Amino acid sequence: METDLLGIIATFVLTILLAWPLGKYISAIYTGAPHWSDKIFGGIERLFYKIGGINPKLEMTWQESLKALLSINLIWFLFAMFILMNQGWLPWNPDHNPSMSPDLAFNTAVSFLVNCNLQHYSGETGMSYLGQITCLMFLQFVTAATGMAACAVVFKAMREQTSQKLGNFYTYFIQSNTRILLPLALIVASLLLFEGVPMNIEGKASIHTLEGNTVQVARGPAAAMVAIKQLGTNGGGFFGANSSHPLENPTYWSNAIESISIILIPIAMVFALGFYLNRKKLALVIFGVMTVGFLALIAPALYFEWQGNPAIDHLGVAQTLGNMEGKETRFGTTFSTYWAIITTVTSNGSVNAMHDSLMPLTGMSALLGMMINALYGGVGVGFLNFYVFIIISVFIAGLMVGRTPELFGKKIEAREMKIATLIALLHPFLILLGTAIASYVAHQKPDIGWLNNPGFHGFSEMLYEYTSSAANNGSGFEGLGDNTPFWNISTGIVLILSRYIPIIGPVAIAGILAKKKHIPSGAGTLQLDTLTFGILMFAVILILVALAFFPALTLGPLAEHFSLK
């Protein structure tokens, strides 16, 4: 296990080393100053502006940016619904998979539209190749770019002295696609191809095995989709078993490449902020808070997976490799646990092991990653969530020292605080309300057949599903029988609210602050790029999350842990 541990440490360090220059690159792109990448991508972008009738020089207010964001999302939703409900008869469907029912199509369309990728279907039997590529993979690119563009608007607002003009949303969106996501996806897809991830257009192969059984082997254009599903913190896999599937993630190296892709852009966005505002120390403080939180989640998770299942120990067999239920031999417990935590802190949601079979407190670490939803977080939106915590921390710090709270020379007043608090409370509200309703229904109708596991673990399955939806994560305790109208519609509503409100809120706060008069910093100004403020932010996150979720965690994973003998 010691060498395994070195493997994940090396992967994490390499990710940070790659994220630093990428952050610098992202900052340069959003700044909009002349850059070497103009020569490569400028031509194609001018074509985009021409087709879209967009003037890239025209700066927009925060309201105009949000209108543009919501309009284009509406178009994508309608398009996705059409493809998903008609893929059965549309071309490029070699396995003759059926069209989706309206409630499943609604859930799938919404979940890919909001960058969540909760999958209530299995790719092998539930999607045509046309649907996978033109609908799901398309959304994996553009929704990631949407989050990044919204983040760029907030970056710009944080830098402005007194202004209403916050850059051109369309430009941010297009450049996020052409200059960041697409080149990275091409690189990652190529690396995965050489590790054995398939990219072909034929349907399932029928083969006779060594012992003479006839089995079908699903394949298809997977490599293109797997690359962007990881880079864009989407997580929606080509095959049902996601990245535990040996064709989606065939080797130790493919696993390392995909692990790096999961947190590369989320970390790079934090560094990008530092370069953009020319406050690298602040970026490092934020990165430090996120990393301490991440380590606090992964350490117990590794411990409990290595220990294995005490109930299996009682059977007298050798559990030297740890808890291997739901895990793949080529990854082992260590890399599987690393993945379980990075995928939940980043709102990615792809899995290389089945989370339903994790030890109770490992499952709790995964849940906490999504409950906080800002330790690195999703591409773009992760920082937006963290921004809300910054606002709240600045406000509390201001009260503690008895001064008007201010952020970069802008007073934070009642209106901004109301928005920030609303966003901070919306997340637990949606999760706990959904879980409460589902628990009530499951209790009233014990034979409803949702739950794959009895007792406390069954409760955890429902809690996980709503937490994953509200965090726009997409992983699941997949034992939950979730392809029913109840789950499709209820999680669909949670998905919509928990995507757009936490984008609208921070953009609005940033926009309102940008318009305010700038007060030059003096001796009494609260310094944000200090260890003290870092500790304060950490404490604020801890207290908010603990207060909101501790009771629910007690009923699920904690109770299961203490009852497991």
Partner 1 sequence: MKNQLFTAIKLSLACFILLVVIYPLAVLGIAQFTPNKGDVDFVKVRDKIVGVRQIGQTYTQAKYFWGRPSAVNYDAGVSGGSNKGPSNPDYIQTVQARRDTFLVHNPSVKANEIPAELLTASGSGLDPHISLQSALVQVARVAKARNHSTEIIQKVVMNSLEKSPAGTPFVNVLELNLALDRL
Pick out residues in 470-529 that bind partner 1 (CB under 8 A).
477-479
Q: How far is the CB of 146 from partner 1 (least distance, A)?
A: 11
Nearest partner of 137 among 66, 202, 58, 76, judged by Cα: 76
Q: Please state whether beta strands 205-208 and 410-411 pair in parallel, antiparallel, or not at all (unpaired).
A: unpaired
Stretch that binds partner 1, among 208-216, 264-272, 407-415, 501-509 (CB under 8 A): 208-216
- Selected binder of partner 1 within 33, 51, 401, 531 (CB under 8 A): 51
Stretch that binds partner 1, among 284-292, 331-339, 368-376, 538-546 (CB under 8 A): 331-339
Query: What is the SS3 assignment for 205?
Result: strand
Q: How far is the CB of 251 from partner 1 (least distance, A)?
A: 9
What is the footprint of partner 1 within residues 270-329 (CB under 8 A)? 308-309, 311-312, 315-321, 323-329
Bridge partners, residue 407, by sequence: 410
Element (H, E) at 207: strand 205-208
Cβ neighbours for 42, distance < 8 A, ≥ 6 positions apart: none
What is the footprint of partner 1 within residues 76-95 (CB under 8 A)? 76, 79
Element (H, E) at 410: strand 410-411
Q: Residue 247, interface with partner 1 (CB under 8 A)?
A: yes
Residue whose CB is less far from partner 1, 124 or 416: 124
CA distance linking residue 77 with residue 66, whole number of Å = 16
Q: How far is the CB of 219 from partner 1 (least distance, A)?
A: 5
Residue whose CB is less far from partner 1, 76 or 112: 76
Residue whose CB is less far from partner 1, 458 or 492: 458
Under a CB-based contact definition with an 8 Å cutoff, are residues 117 and 154 in contact? no
- Selected binder of partner 1 within 13, 215, 546, 547 (CB under 8 A): 215
Residue whose CB is less far from partner 1, 284 or 312: 312
Q: How far is the CB of 121 from partner 1 (least distance, A)?
A: 11
**Binding residue count for partner 1, defined by CB under 8 A:** 121
Longest Cα–Cα distance in the chain: 80
- Selected binder of partner 1 within 57, 213, 278, 401 (CB under 8 A): 213
CA distance linking residue 108 with residue 100, whole number of Å = 9
429 token code pair: 């509200």
CA distance linking residue 87 with residue 293, whole number of Å = 43
What is the footprint of partner 1 within residues 118-147 (CB under 8 A)? 122, 124-125, 133-134, 137-138, 141-142
90 token code pair: 């549309």
Q: Residue 44, interface with partner 1 (CB under 8 A)?
A: yes
Q: Residue 240, interface with partner 1 (CB under 8 A)?
A: yes
- Selected binder of partner 1 within 17, 47, 399, 543 (CB under 8 A): 47
What is the footprint of partner 1 within residues 249-278 (CB under 8 A)? 250, 252-253
Residue whose CB is less far from partner 1, 51 or 401: 51
What is the footprint of partner 1 within residues 397-436 (CB under 8 A)? none
Q: Which long-range contacts (CB under 8 A, 24 or more apart) does 64-70 make?
A: 64/169, 65/149, 65/150, 65/153, 65/166, 65/169, 65/507, 66/503, 66/504, 66/507, 66/508, 68/169, 68/170, 69/146, 69/149, 69/150, 69/169, 69/503, 70/500
Binding mask 167-186 for partner 1 (x = CB under 8 A): ---x--xx--xx---x--xx
- Selected binder of partner 1 within 455, 532, 546, 554 (CB under 8 A): 455
Cβ neighbours for 205, distance < 8 A, ≥ 6 positions apart: 216, 217, 219
- Selected binder of partner 1 within 26, 29, 54, 391 (CB under 8 A): 54
Q: How far is the CB of 410 from partner 1 (least distance, A)?
A: 29
161-to-173, 242, 412 alpha-carbon distances in Å: 24, 46, 15
Q: Residue 560, interface with partner 1 (CB under 8 A)?
A: yes
Q: Residue 387, interface with partner 1 (CB under 8 A)?
A: no
Phi, psi of 128 (to 5 degrees): -85, 165
Stretch that binds partner 1, among 51-59, 258-266, 267-275, 277-285 (CB under 8 A): 51-59
Q: Residue 365, interface with partner 1 (CB under 8 A)?
A: no
Cβ neighbours for 38, distance < 8 A, ≥ 6 positions apart: none
Stretch that binds partner 1, among 6-14, 17-25, 113-121, 268-276 (CB under 8 A): 6-14
Q: Residue 71, interface with partner 1 (CB under 8 A)?
A: yes
CB-hemisphere CA count at 13 Å for 107? 21
